[in-house]
Amino acid sequence: MSLFDDDQPKKKPIHEIGSDLSQLSVDELSARIAQLSEEIARLEAERTRKSASRSAAEGLFR
């Protein structure tokens, strides 16, 4: 990690939970849904990977 990491611009979140959606177009809403669906799939894959690792580790101690 660099000493200058704080100088890097922060990436704006795709979507903020609970934000006002009334000003977004149908296309903008569809784009957000697609991006959030991809993120959900990424999170589920990581959870599956970690669950498998945990199960394997628990199997060593039985």
Domain boundaries, the chain: 26-61
Q: Write the pLDDT tens digit of every residue in 17-56.
A: 999 999 999 999 999 999 999 999 999 999 999 998 877 7
* Rounded alpha-carbon distances, angstroms, from residue 11 to 8, 14, 22, 26, 44: 9, 9, 23, 24, 23
Against a cut of 0.75, is the pTM above it? no
Structure confidence at residue 54 (pLDDT): 77
Average pLDDT over residues 4-23: 82
Output phi, psi for 60, to 5 deg: -70, -25
Q: Does residue 1 surpass a pLDDT of 60?
A: no
